[in-house]
DNA sequence: CATTTGTTGACTGACGGTCGGTCAACAAAT
DNA sequence: ATTTGTTGACCGACCGTCAGTCAACAAATG
């Protein structure tokens, strides 16, 4: 009945990984199914055994990128001690310009470009999940600040705004050259912290 | 010497207007040059007399939308008296769900999706201009608040953050369903105002 | 060997963009 | 007033590209 059972989900990931660099090299606009097939070492028709369409491929790749990024985040965040450092690392995605992070950032940009014309249910769900993840992370950081008596309890009201501000920075970076996102971020966080820190907290610069 | 001189810039606008509804109806993904030509009542080849490529058409349409929106904004903003009302109207673009504003918003979404894969110099410049416009507007509102002694002078430090927050809301609305952008906006503005208002200002709720 | 499952690349249709040619409008010459 | 010349707006047949399909083949199984 079933000769050679294939784990489609695994093969999906393998194939996406195989052309994860491809998308980075040529960009979505120039990514063709043929290139994907060649890159994965299979026939063009086979691609459609695992992916519904081109957008679906991009989606899988972005999934992997985001997953990697989140894992890295969870690892790295523990290495920072001060609340402010942690907050700034929260903005790492948009502030850091090293090759690895840029890869994630650009991948996300291409992903957004698809959503904006072709969003499907799976994508909305995925976005929702990502959002829950970052809200949890930020919530933890802020809560820690409050517990340590460095931040005023009112700070909790600014969790969502900080998240939204981060998204705003993403949009700024994606739409405007010569905008110093780092400066704007520092400005906002510093000014905000001046308002929501306890007297305790202000001492520990 | 000169047979039938045509104002290309005007025709560009006319044509863009002619298919402005088209793009709204079918979306960028399904917008074909042929449809544009049909909609404008001209031949396919002629389209390229006025536009470099498909992206260029979208760009012109968005230009018109944004221009209209900005003019409307300048008219409407004068009708609000309180600073907070003005600030909320500043967020009108992302908060208002009426047909007209949604049209602008969706147009902008499609525009972003192009920039994200195919940005050119003209588009970056345009974004820059838009940004300058909204910064001027917000600056005026905040300055008025300070002059009226309703807002603390520190408020000026929050002009850029508020702008960036607005962009963040845009991204939220474009990527997540079931997110109450209105609530998030009110939350942020109210909490922030509680921190940056003068005692004078707090009285005037 | 028969059957089922996986794989393939030739094929199709759609679309963006090009290009040689047409013709209305106007100017200059007669 | 009429003819002739020039220009450039306009057109749509055509081309290359590419996403997606499918009939045929290969491999595995019992």
Query: What mean pLDDT is reported for chain B?
Result: 89
| B104 has pLDDT over 80 | yes
A44: CB within 7 A of chain D nucleic strand:
yes
| A5 has pLDDT over 50 | no
B6 pLDDT band, cuts 50/70/90, is low
pLDDT over 90 percentage in chain A: 59
CA of B31: which chain A residue's CA is closest?
A117
- The whole-number pLDDT of residue A118 equals 81
Chain B contact for A122, CB < 8 A? no
User: Where do the H-state alpha helices sit in A150-196?
Assistant: 159-175, 181-196
Task: State mean pLDDT over A102-112.
Answer: 89
Task: State mean pLDDT over A113-130.
Answer: 88
Euclidean distance between the first and the last CA atom of chain B, given in angstroms as a whole number: 68
Chain A contact for B153, CB < 8 A? no
Q: Which of B164, B169, B195 sits opposite A184 (nearest CB)?
A: B164
B201 pLDDT band, cuts 50/70/90, is low
pLDDT per residue as tens digits for the range B161-170:
999 999 999 9
| B171 has pLDDT over 90 | yes
Burial of residue B176, with CB atoms counted within 10 A of its CB: 0-12 exposed, 13-18 middle, 19 or more buried: middle
- The whole-number pLDDT of residue B27 equals 83
CA–chain centroid gap for A110, Å, is: 12
| A4 has pLDDT over 60 | no
A15 pLDDT band, cuts 50/70/90, is confident
| B1 has pLDDT over 60 | no
ipTM for the whole complex: 0.88
Q: Assess contact for A183 and B178: CB atoms under 8 A.
A: no
A186 pLDDT band, cuts 50/70/90, is very high
- The whole-number pLDDT of residue B199 equals 79
What structural domains does chain B harbor? 1-51 (1.10.10.60), 54-203 (1.10.357)
A30: CB within 7 A of chain D nucleic strand:
yes
Place of tokens 């933890």: A140
């Amino acid at each position: 009945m079933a000769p050679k059972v294939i784990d489609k989900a695994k093969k999906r990931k393998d194939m996406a990984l195989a052309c994860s660099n491809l998308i980075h090299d040529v960009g979505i606009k120039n990514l063709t199914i043929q290139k994907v097939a060649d890159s994965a070492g299979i026939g063009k028709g086979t691609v459609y055994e695992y992916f519904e369409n081109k957008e679906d491929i991009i989606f899988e790749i972005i999934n992997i990128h985001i997953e990697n990024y989140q894992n890295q985040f969870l690892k790295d965040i523990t290495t920072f001690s001060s609340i402010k450092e942690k907050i700034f690392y929260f903005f790492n995605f948009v502030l850091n310009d090293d090759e690895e992070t840029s890869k994630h950032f650009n991948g996300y940009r291409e992903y957004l470009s698809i959503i904006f014309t072709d969003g499907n249910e799976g994508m909305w769900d995925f976005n929702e999940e990502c959002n829950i993840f970052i809200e949890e992370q930020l919530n933890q950081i802020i809560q820690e600040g409050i517990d340590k008596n460095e931040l005023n309890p009112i700070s909790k009201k600014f969790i969502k705004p900080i998240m939204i501000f981060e998204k705003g920075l993403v949009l700024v970076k994606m739409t405007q050259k010569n905008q110093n996102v780092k400066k704007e971020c520092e400005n906002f966080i510093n000014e905000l912290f001046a308002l929501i820190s306890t007297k305790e907290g202000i001492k520990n610069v």
